[in-house]
């Protein structure tokens, strides 16, 4: 959410930013906020004047009573009451106007970084760099669920009976591989100096609206019926929420946390052929990383975070590339975002396995995450990035480590988490 003072003083910058994000229908919000803000400040000025005058009159009442001027005192009391009633009306008007302003400010997009490429949607994202050589073997690579089934590693039919489409049972070595990747990712981030955390898997509505846009909320979140609770779509939500309404000592920054959690998502929208199997599902597990830092440090941390994901995937022999998300592909709270995509030798193309985002002070402003610095208080900057998110990551792992006989190579880095095994054999 933008600072109202910034919008008031820089309306053209805000309008131009909306245009860069191809959200012209939101342009009217800028003028609406400016007019509502003028009206609210006028009401506040009038209310402040009434308070001061009412306080002055209230002090006179005692003096008038002491002088025996009862009639004047009673007349002053009536005037104080009338001004009190008027003040109540003005205070209610302030609250109403403030809420109307906040509603609009919540859907005006954050100012994107100047380095963000301008484009309408993800088709105009810009490739930055490739890591590792994309390789296609001289044998056919089956669909990922077919690979898993040969390893007796997945049961989709039973999951459909139990929970419906978009769920799965992982079994045996594949289930162990899933847990091994999560454990390896956890230790990988701990070795980078991050503090490990297991957060709440449900959050309140004020945290939800603090960490994400309304469009994302509607498309993603499952609400607990009868409760002010939502299942998290990613642990970033509850991890950033950990700092809600706090004043943090500048010397204690940055906070660097890595978290494990299950994730729950509606996944609204049409699903293509490459989204069957376990590519796009309602429940999965994830290792995440978040940073809360000083504004001047956020871009340095941004580059560190996505590079950690690249390093992790390369340590498991998976080629990846990084993509700069264009303006139209950025969620409204994001300043800048880079996707990490893994190579699929079966599809002969890359697909997303992680996303790194710098949100500037947008989340901190909504959640009141403040920092006490040498020159006063200010809002922190927040960042998040996927370390690894099985089972989507398993697709890339299985395809890139598949042998012609259907067995799976276990990279050196992962063997300690697989009991020292170097290979997963096909089950007879």
139 secondary structure, DSSP code: S
Tell me what pLDDT residue 316 has.
Answer: 95
Which parts of 201-347 fold into alpha helices (H)?
Answer: 205-211, 214-220, 235-241, 298-314
What CATH code is assigned to 4-105?
1.10.287.40
Alpha-carbon 40 to chain mean position? 31
Closest by CA to 359, choosing from 197, 240, 245, is 240
- Beta carbons of 367 and 118 less than 8 angstroms apart: no
Beta bridge partners of 222: 231
Q: What is the 3-state secondary structure (H, E, C) of 180-227?
A: HHHHHHHHHHHHCCCEEECCCCEECHHHHHHHCCHHHHHHHCEECCCC
Using a cut of 0.95, tell me whether the model's pTM lies above it: no
Strands (E), 294-367: 320-324, 336-344, 349-358
Which pairing describes strands 246-249 and 369-373: parallel, antiparallel, or unpaired? Answer: parallel
Identify the pLDDT of residue 217. Answer: 78
pLDDT at 275: 54
Q: Which residues contact 357 (CB under 8 A, 6 or more apart)?
A: 331, 334, 336, 337, 383, 384, 385
pLDDT at 39: 96
**Residues of the chain by 3-state class (helix, strand, coil), percent to 5:** 50, 20, 30
Contact present, 343 and 151 (Cβ < 8 Å): no
Would you kindly state where each structural domain of the chain is located, as residue ranges?
4-105, 122-424
pLDDT score, position 74? 72
Spatial strand order in the sheet of 222-223: 202-203, 230-231, 222-223
Per-position pLDDT tens, the chain of length 428? 899 999 999 999 999 999 999 999 999 999 999 999 999 999 999 888 888 877 777 777 767 677 777 777 777 777 777 777 888 888 899 999 999 999 999 999 999 999 999 999 999 999 999 999 999 999 999 999 999 999 999 999 999 999 998 899 999 999 999 999 999 999 999 999 999 999 999 999 999 999 987 777 777 899 999 999 999 999 999 999 999 999 999 999 999 999 999 999 987 554 544 556 888 889 999 999 999 999 999 999 999 999 999 999 999 999 999 999 999 999 999 999 999 999 999 999 999 999 999 999 999 999 999 999 999 999 999 999 999 998 889 999 999 999 999 999 999 999 999 999 999 999 87
Does residue 118 contact residue 21 with C-beta atoms inside 8 Å? no
Joined together, the tokens standing for residue 237 give: 């939500």
Scanning 263-332, the segments in alpha helix (DSSP H) are: 298-314
CA distance 382 to 240: 8
Residue 272: the pLDDT is: 47
CATH code for residues 122-424: 3.30.930.10
Long-range contacts of the stretch 137-143 (C-beta < 8 A, 24+): 137/345, 137/402, 137/404, 139/404, 141/345, 141/346, 141/399, 141/402, 142/346, 143/277, 143/346
Q: CA–CA distance from 344 to each of 133, 340, 393 (Å)?
A: 12, 13, 11
Residue 20: predicted pLDDT: 98
| Cα dihedral: 357, 360, 366, 371 (round 10) | 120
Question: What is the rounded distance in angstroms from the CA atom of residue 416 to the CA atom of residue 272?
Answer: 37
The answer to whether the 4-105 and 122-424 domains have the same CATH topology is no
């Amino acid at each position: 959410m933008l600072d109202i003072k910034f919008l008031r003083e820089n309306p053209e910058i805000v309008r131009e930013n909306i245009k860069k994000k191809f959200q012209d229908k939101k342009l009217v919000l800028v003028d609406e906020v400016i007019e509502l803000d003028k009206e609210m400040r006028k009401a506040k000025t009038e209310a402040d004047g009434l308070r001061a005058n009412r306080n002055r009159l209230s002090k006179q009442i005692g003096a008038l009573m002491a002088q025996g001027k009862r009639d004047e005192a009673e007349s002053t009391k009536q005037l104080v009451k009338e001004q009190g009633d008027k003040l109540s009306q003005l205070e209610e008007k302030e609250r109403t106007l403030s809420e109307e302003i906040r509603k609009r400010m919540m859907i005006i997009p954050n100012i994107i970084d100047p380095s963000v490429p301008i484009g309408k949607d993800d088709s105009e994202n810009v490739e930055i760099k490739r890591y590792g050589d994309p390789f296609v073997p001289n044998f056919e690579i089956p669909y990922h669920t077919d690979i898993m089934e040969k390893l007796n590693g997945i049961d989709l039919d039973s999951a459909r009976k139990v929970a419906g489409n978009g769920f799965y049972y992982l079994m045996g070595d594949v289930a162990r591989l899933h847990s091994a990747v999560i454990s390896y990712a956890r230790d990988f981030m701990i070795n980078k100096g991050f503090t490990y955390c297991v957060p709440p898997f449900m959050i309140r509505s004020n945290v939800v609206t603090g960490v994400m846009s309304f469009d994302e909320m509607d498309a993603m979140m499952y609400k607990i019926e009868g409760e002010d609770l939502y299942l998290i779509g990613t642990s970033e939500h509850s991890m950033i929420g950990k700092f809600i309404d706090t004043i943090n000592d500048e010397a204690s920054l940055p906070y660097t946390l890595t978290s494990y959690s299950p994730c729950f998502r509606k996944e609204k929208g049409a699903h293509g052929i490459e989204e069957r199997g376990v590519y796009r599902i309602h429940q999965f597990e994830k290792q995440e990383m978040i940073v809360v830092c000083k504004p001047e440090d956020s871009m340095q941390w941004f580059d560190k975070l996505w590079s950690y994901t690249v390093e992790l995937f390369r340590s498991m022999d998976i080629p990846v590339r990084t993509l700069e998300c264009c303006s139209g592909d950025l969620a409204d709270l994001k300043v800048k975002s880079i996707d990490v995509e893994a190579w699929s030798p079966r599809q002969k193309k890359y697909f997303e396995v992680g996303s790194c985002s710098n949100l500037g002070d947008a989340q901190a402003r909504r959640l009141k995450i403040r920092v006490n610095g040498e020159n006063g208080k200010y809002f922190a900057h927040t960042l998040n990035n996927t370390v690894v998110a099985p089972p989507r990551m398993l697709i890339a792992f299985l395809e890139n480590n598949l042998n012609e006989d259907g067995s799976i190579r276990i990279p050196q880095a992962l063997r300690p988490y697989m009991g020292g095994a170097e290979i997963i054999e096909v089950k007879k």
